[in-house]
Amino acid sequence: MIPTSPEFLENIGIQYFPDSNHTSDADSLRWFPLLEKLNIHWLVMNADLKRAIPEGFIRKMLQTGINPILRFQFSLVNPPRARDLEPLFSAYSKWGIQYMSFFEQPNQFSSWSAETWVKNDLVERYIDRFLNLAKPALAHHLLPIFSPLFPGGNYWDTLFLEQALISLNRRQEFELLDQMALSAYGWTFDHPLDWGQGGPEKWPSARPYTSLPNTQDQQGFRISDWYAAVSNKILDRELPIFLFESGLPGPAENQSDDTTVLAKTYQNILNQSGNIALGNQSADEIPFSPTFIFSFLCNDDSHPLHHLAWFNLDGSATSLGEKMAEIMQKPIATKENPHFTQTRDQIDTYLLLPSFEWGVADWHLDMVRSFVKKNRPTLGFSLRDACLARKVIVIGGENNFTEDDLNQLRSRGCLVDRIQGDGTSIATQLAER
């Protein structure tokens, strides 16, 4: 029996299975109640080009209050054609998917062929491949996640990320930069969890490809501090970040079978999760907290990574799962953003309308009338209330709700869909939802 956690940790997620299977009705009945009791808010699922994850599975997941992240581990040597993914993008968008990632470790030699690795402009060639999939995804209201980089790596990861963001900025991919998220591996490298805290501002002597005495770097759990510094340097703002495999000492295949230390690390991450991104800054100054993704919900006991699973195939807890169930029922001390302090309620869709000093515009109410009558969403004018919904449909452009406003909602796990234009255009777009 898995106890119910007293706190809803909205920045905590878990990798589903290491494969792309286990998406039947029976799987949803077995795993979603467990996830709900553990208050896991994000579920990372491996996806492939051959078949879509069933609509019913995705919709049941969303109804449970769990946000899926689809992880396509495509080859960088032979990436798929965008047109082959269009049907998947269209379907996933309609079913409520928001985030997806396309490649893994583009800063590693092993992700490329020998001849493609040695060619000039590696970062530019990666960006070509990334944009080939990210832009069509964005056109379907799907939010791309920048591929996780190997910390350090054959091509130093912070340099790779900096050059990639410079490239996207130079190519004027501003809409993508406003919508995308970053990802990283939250490995500890056997360092304490606070290794590298404060990023390059605190550790200015850190150098790529070099380990200096009395100096810390991004090769640790606080890698998000370093990526945030890169984002601020190039874009003057932070991007949301997902930390895959949070708490593992390194790549999953090198993880020890002894899970006692790992469980303790997970407990420390949970205890600190509300404070990790805050540092010495106030909550108002931090637009995003990292989202921590643990590994794995379940795994076949014959699989080499079974020691990382929280549950067995029959739904019973592993030794690690039992420890995590015990840990996650304990109160977690977190710092809350005062603008978003409530616990998520069971609001499926919130229709967020602009309001003005003089009141509410009748024409906004008129243009959404048909949609409201047909779908019966919760309708309101409050960002604070909207953060309690699974999905938020935002009516109005930047002059009504800024991108920072929308990112506040995204950082709380909401699926955000902005609709703007004139009255006819907005009504038409709503009718397509």
Rounded Cα gap, residues 152 and 251, in angstroms? 13
Q: Cβ distance 241 to 184 under 8 Å?
A: yes
User: Cα–Cα distances in Å, from 48 out to 111, 208, 386?
Assistant: 17, 34, 33
pLDDT, tens digit only, all 433 positions of the chain: 233 333 335 788 999 999 888 999 999 999 999 998 888 889 999 999 888 999 999 999 998 889 999 999 999 999 999 999 999 999 999 999 989 999 999 999 999 999 999 999 999 999 999 999 999 999 999 999 999 999 999 999 999 999 999 999 999 999 999 989 999 999 999 999 999 999 999 999 999 999 899 999 999 999 999 999 999 999 999 999 999 999 999 997 777 777 888 999 998 888 776 555 444 444 334 345 688 999 999 988 778 888 899 999 988 999 999 988 888 766 544 344 333 334 444 588 999 998 876 667 777 787 888 888 888 899 888 888 888 888 899 998 888 888 888 877 876 778 888 998 876 788 788 887 7
150: preceding bond cis by omega (within 30 degrees):
no
Q: Which residues of 48-81 are buried (b: 16+ CB within 10 A; e: fewer)?
A: beeebbeeebbebbbebbbbbbbbbebebeebbe
User: Smallest Cα–Cα separation from 308: which of 344, 249, 262?
Assistant: 262
CA distance 201 to 225: 10
- Assess contact for 145 and 180: CB atoms under 8 A: yes
Domains of the chain and any CATH numbers: 12-328 (3.20.20.80), 347-432 (3.40.50)
Residue type at 124 in one-letter notation: E
Tokens matching residue 105: 């470790």
| 246, containing H or E segment | none
Alpha-carbon span 92 to 226, nearest angstrom: 32
Contacts of 76 (CB under 8 A, 6+ apart): 103, 106, 111, 112, 116, 126, 129
Among 166, 153, 81, 80, smallest CA distance to 123 is for: 166
Length of the chain measured in residues = 433
**What 3-state class would DSSP assign to 302?**
coil
Looking up tokens 């898995």 gives 2
Contact 67/10 with Cβ under 8 angstroms?
no
C-beta separation of 269 from 261 below 8 A:
no
Q: What secondary structure does DSSP assign to 140-159, as a single string?
A: TT-EEEPPPPPSSTTTTHHH
CA atoms lying within 13 Å on the CB side of residue 49: 14
